[in-house]
């Protein structure tokens, strides 16, 4: 499973030369080179579904709220999106639930992906089980760390449009923002900001189409929401919205 995350609604990114730098095209979204999740391993995982296909990810924050990327909801009506929760297997167990309200961050910019974070209020409360639990919001500014985890139902590769039935995950490292920015040319370099977080993956691993909005977790806490990348598993960092930066905005809504 490749974990490179830019939204399926975006154009694919063309790489120049030896695949070291992105072009000026839009980025893309999903997971590559990953492993299959065990039952109950990621009980907070959400799949966003449109017309029967997983197109983004998310995470359960409490009984009524899910967090995802703003680009995953842009242009969508409530009736366009179902949310699959409660199982690591899309064909076994779990349930599809519906949304009552979308809240996109007011500062979201669909061109630069600044503030690419959103909340979904569910129509009905979720019931906790071994396969459905909430994820804690990270509160600390994580500069660098090892052994973070990203999970999703995105494509295995950019050239393979097959989606896995089984949830996939990779282990990844959080890297310094300055180091991350140096990996990109403009316009991507200037998109790395205090509100973003970057990861560096093992060779041939990374987010891919369909992984956007998915959870980056460190020590049991949600530290990132997948935003954009150059897909899939080509060696460039994957970019997330930093949860600690948006913690106050998130809590204002989900605690009402």
Q: What is the pLDDT of residues 72-84, one digit of tens each?
A: 999 999 999 999 9
Q: How many domains does the chain have?
A: 1
Helix ranges (DSSP H) in 169-216: 177-182
CB-based contact 104:213 (threshold 8 Å)? no
Instruction: List the CATH number of the domain containing 251.
Output: 2.40.10.10
What is the Cα–Cα distance from 196 to 193, expressed in whole angstroms?
A: 5
- The answer as to whether 155 is a domain residue is yes
| Residue 21 included in any domain | no
CA distances from 82 to 62, 77, 156 (A): 17, 11, 22
Q: Is residue 4 part of a domain?
A: no
* CA pair distance 51, 225, nearest whole angstrom: 23
Asked if residue 116 belongs to a domain, the reply is: yes
Q: pLDDT 10s digit of each residue in the chain, 256 long?
A: 444 343 332 323 222 222 233 333 444 343 667 899 999 999 999 999 999 999 999 999 999 999 999 999 999 999 999 999 999 999 999 999 999 999 999 999 999 999 999 999 999 999 999 999 999 999 999 999 999 999 999 988 877 777 889 999 999 999 999 999 999 999 999 999 999 999 999 888 889 999 999 999 999 999 999 999 987 888 899 999 999 999 999 999 999 6
Is residue 70 domain-resident?
A: yes
Query: Is 3 within the bounds of a domain?
Result: no
Domain ranges, residue 117: 40-255
Is 14 among the domain residues? no
Give how far Cα 38 sits from Cα of 42, 89, 131, 135, 171, Å. Answer: 8, 9, 10, 17, 15
The Cα–Cα gap between 220 and 199 comes to 17
- 212 is a domain residue: yes
pTM to 2 decimal places: 0.88
DSSP label at 11? Answer: P
Residue 193, pLDDT score: 97
């Amino acid at each position: 499973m490749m974990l490179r995350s830019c939204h399926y609604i975006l154009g694919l990114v063309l790489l120049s030369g030896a695949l070291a730098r992105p072009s000026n095209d839009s980025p893309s979204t999903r997971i590559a080179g990953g492993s299959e999740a065990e039952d109950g391993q990621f009980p907070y995982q959400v799949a966003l579904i449109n017309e029967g296909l997983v197109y983004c990810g998310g995470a359960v924050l409490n009984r009524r709220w899910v967090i995802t990327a703003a680009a995953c909801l842009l242009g969508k009506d409530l009736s366009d999106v179902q949310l699959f929760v409660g199982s690591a297997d899309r064909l076994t167990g779990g349930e599809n639930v519906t949304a009552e309200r979308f809240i996109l961050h007011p500062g979201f910019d669909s061109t630069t992906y600044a503030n690419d974070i959103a909340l979904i209020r569910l129509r009905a409360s979720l019931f906790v089980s071994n396969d459905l639990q909430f994820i804690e919001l990270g509160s600390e500014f994580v500069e660098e760390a090892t052994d973070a985890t990203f999970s999703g139902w995105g494509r295995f590769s950019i050239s393979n449009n097959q989606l896995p039935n089984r949830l996939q995950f990779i282990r990844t490292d959080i890297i310094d923002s300055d180091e991350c920015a140096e990996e990109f040319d403009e316009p991507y370099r200037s998109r790395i900001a205090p509100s973003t977080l970057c990861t560096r993956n093992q060779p041939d691993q990374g987010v891919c189409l369909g992984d956007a909005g998915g959870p980056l977790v460190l020590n049991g806490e949600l530290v990132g929401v997948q935003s954009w990348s150059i897909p899939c598993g080509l060696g460039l960092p994957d970019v997330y919205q930093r949860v600690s930066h948006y913690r106050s905005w998130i809590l204002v809504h989900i605690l009402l």
